[in-house]
Chain A
Amino acid sequence: DIQMTQSPSSLSASVGDRVTISCRASQSISSFLNWYQQEPGKAPMLLIYRASSLRSGVPSRFSGSGSGTDFTLTISSLQPEDFATYYCQQSLSTPYSFGQGTKLEIK
């Protein structure tokens, strides 16, 4: 099974900051990597699929990059509504697996 590891587990930042979250797969997953955002008490929401494709309606300050085993989610200028937990997920093969999450908190 493919293991997904995110770093950092938590991150403190301020509105307007640029932040980067990393995700590493235990084996190559090509570009079969998705990113989700989860606000407290809510269901996750898809942000990015295929490593770098922005879901329709997601603000352009979100971007994704990477292929193979190393991936990055970048938020170019943090907004108040972006403070949430972010998960990566591989969809190369079942069982699908998620990273453990990165909690983005206000500094």
Chain B
Amino acid sequence: EVQLVESGGGLVKPGGSLRLSCTPSGVTMSYVWMSWVRQTPGKGLEWVGRIKSKSDGGTTDYAAAVKGRFGISRDDSRNTLCLQMNSLKTEDTAVYYCTTEMEYYSGSGSPGYYMDVWGKGTTVTVSS
């Protein structure tokens, strides 16, 4: 069974930095695309960004709200995914989930994707 465990959440002041980690078990991370999704208190889900597998280029994509402030990286040798968060704002307060992103054949020529396995999440609070 694939499991994901996030860590690194906590309380940080506005303008500060925090580094989240995600460690999968039951899967070799090097073959898997990974994403971060956050959920603000009492609200819905917001996609933060993702990183492709190295065999697919290892490139990253980000939501506009975090682009330039957040960075996603992967260390496949340690089976670890990281989310480096800089210049944090109060609106970044959320539960952060890491997920695996799986590809499926859509039948239309382009592949589709879904977020398959989710971690339990780690809470980030940005407050003075």
A residues bordering B, Cβ < 8 Å? 1, 30-32, 34, 36, 42-46, 49-50, 53, 87, 89, 91, 94-101
Contact = CB atoms under 8 A, between A and B. Distances in A.
Contact of A98 (B44, B108, B116): B44
A55 to B, nearest CB: 8
Interface of chain A, helix or strand or loop or mixed? loop
Interface of chain B, helix or strand or loop or mixed? strand
Contacts of A94: 47, 50, 61
A46 B112 CA distance: 14
Contacts of B46: 98
Nearest 10 CB-CB pairings of A with B = A43-B118, A96-B47, A49-B114, A98-B45, A94-B61, A91-B113, A34-B114, A101-B44, A95-B63, A100-B44
Which size bracket describes the interface of B in this complex? Answer: 20 to 34
Contacts of B104: 49-50, 53
A99 B47 CA distance: 11
